[in-house]
Amino acid sequence: MTSSDSSRRTVGAWSMLGAPAAAAALAGIGADWVLLDAQHGLYDDRSILDTVARLAAMRTGHPTLVRVPANDAAWIGRALDAGADGVVVPMIRDAADAAKAAAAVRYAPDGTRSWGPMSAYWGGAGEDAATANGRVTCNVMIETPGALAEVESIAATPGVDMLFVGPFDLSIALGTTHAELLADTSPESPLRRIVAAARAAGIRSGAYGGTLEAAAALYGHGFDDVAVVVDTAVLTAAGADSVERARNL
């Protein structure tokens, strides 16, 4: 899920809890990448800084991404300054929004990101602007009818590395259900159109799954990178199962 990835399929882990320990546990289960959710999860600026530093110290070799709350250069810059390998930017409406996000992700001459890496604060080695530009990724979310209508131009926006789908928001916005969106395998279905746009532009496609069943459907549509494991779901599902088993001992 980085700029140098091949076309292989990846399995992601999604962290909502805003806790470095929770994200570190996810980083140790073998997932290909970990995402920290600052839009709908409990991550704030402080916990992103602490968590990204902890994951970097683990040296897993896998990317750490941050879903920022909005298409905002300050949030994007802070996440990348902390050492994140990329951002997932929500509520992209059109190619202009995508270009704004892409510019915020990279330093000049490729973008407008302000210089201020924080790695030196915890003893890490710095990197120059060109190296940083090649490492980080800009992943934009397609989750509205407007974005779907403009998906080909969004995918072709210079600096965009992935189209990332929020299937719950997209299904609500399209007036359908999450299950119906995933089940629509027609050639012109919304999910197939998004995957096709990404492939035509030579970039990756990703999506939030959250369950094995949803992940299977998303991989079936052709998505490259799917978040399968979510810390909140793992905690509650495993805990509930253990409690039930204990009652039958």
N- to C-terminal Cα separation, the chain: 44
Q: Which residues pair with 66 in a beta bridge?
A: 36, 87
List the catalytic residue out of 40, 62, 178, 221.
Answer: 40
Report in angstroms the alpha-carbon separations of 116 from 3, 45, 83, 132: 21, 15, 11, 12
Question: Is residue 215 classed exposed, middle or buried when 0-12, 13-18 and 19+ CB atoms within 10 A define those classes?
Answer: buried
* Contact (CB, 8 A) for 50 and 20: yes
Catalytic residue flag (residue 221): no
Q: Quote the CA–CA distance of 93 and 130 in Å, as a whole number.
A: 29
Distances from the Cα of 155 to the Cαs of 71, 142, 159, 236, in angstroms?
A: 16, 10, 9, 36
CB 136 within 8 A of CB 145: no
Residues with a known catalytic role: 40
